[in-house]
Amino acid sequence: MQTIDMETTALRDLNATLQAQAETTNQTTWEITNPKGSHAIAVGLDAPIDVTVKGSTGYYCAGMNKQATITVDGSAGPGVAENMMSGKVVITGDASQYAGATGNGGTLVIKGNASSRCGISMKGIDIIVHGNVGHMSAFMAQSGNLVVCGDAGDALGDSIYEARLFVRGSVKSLGADCIEKEMRPEHLTLLTDLLERGGCDAKPEEFKRYGSARELYHFKIDNAY
């Protein structure tokens, strides 16, 4: 295992080192110590490596990740795993706003709670939150899956497109064009897999599914107000 201490290593050198790991690297396990809430830690990675950040991170940790598995042993600031393409990001604590924003792929697991706008504009990422999510989560969510084992705040799934939302607890309110939908067997299968990938022992049957009523898909007079 390689250790990078942010007390003595600049952010630029840290990211340059991790970004330089090729597909075939044999240094597959990395530990980052003393992150102390720094921003943009482990961004733009593109190799199947394992990175553990020992402590909490600032904004945009794991931004645009491809392939790497990044664990934050602590809480993550705003925009964790934003625009992730593939790989896996795990937050053992809580995540701030915009977790997984615009993510195209990969899996984001938040073991604590996520704040507002979790999964905003998501485009294919799978997000599994063990706790609650804040207001405006999955706003304009295009595709992918958001699983919330706790409760969801106001305006869940506002202006949602084709993303699927699964919530176990209560939903304070649904946003425009987001409705509860029937949980069919294929959704239970999908959810079983998502929960397993998220390391959750919740039962798929305890969840409700939400998605788009597809009423806003065409710009017409009634949408104009």
Partner 1 sequence: MNDENISAPRTMPIQSATFSQDTNAEIRRAAATGIYDIRGGGAKRKVPHFDDLLFLGASISRYPLEGYREACDTSVTLGTRFAKNPIQLDIPITIAGMSFGALSGAAKEALGRGATLAGTSTTTGDGGMTPEERGHSEKLVYQYLPSRYGMNPDDLRRADAIEIVVGQGAKPGGGGMLLGQKITDRVAGMRNLPKGIDQRSACRHPDWTGPDDLEIKILELREITGWKVPIYIKVGGSRPYFDTTLAVKAGADVVVLDGMQGGTAATQDVFIENVGMPILACIREAVRALEDLGMHREVQLIVSGGVRTGADVAICMALGADAVSIGTAALIALGDNDPKWEAEYQKLGTTAGAYDDWHEGNDPAGISTQNPELSARLDPVEGGRRLRNYLKVMTLEAQTIARACGKNKLHNLEPEDLCALTMEAAAMAKVPLAGTDWWPGKPGTAF
Task: Tell me the residue type at 151.
Answer: D
Number of H helices, E strands in the chain: 2, 11
101 interacts with partner 1 by CB under 8 A: yes
CA atoms of 110 and 158, how far apart (whole Å): 21
94 interacts with partner 1 by CB under 8 A: no
63 interacts with partner 1 by CB under 8 A: yes
Pairing of β 164-167 and β 208-212 = antiparallel
Cβ proximity to partner 1: between 37 and 150 the closer is 37
176 interacts with partner 1 by CB under 8 A: no
Q: Which of 120, 138, 146, 171 binds partner 1 (CB under 8 A)?
A: 120
Binding mask 136-175 for partner 1 (x = CB under 8 A): ---xx-xx---------------x-xx-------------
12 interacts with partner 1 by CB under 8 A: yes
- DSSP line for 90-139: EESS-B-TTTTTT--SSEEEESS-B-TTTTTT-EEEEEEESS-B-TTTTT
Q: Give first-to-last CA distance, the chain, whole Å.
A: 57
179 interacts with partner 1 by CB under 8 A: no
CA atoms of 217 and 202, how far apart (whole Å): 33
* Site of interaction with partner 1 (CB under 8 A): 11-12, 15-16, 19, 39-40, 43-44, 46, 58-60, 63-64, 66, 78-79, 82-83, 85, 97-98, 101-102, 104, 117, 120-121, 123-124, 139-140, 142-143, 159, 161-162, 217-221, 224
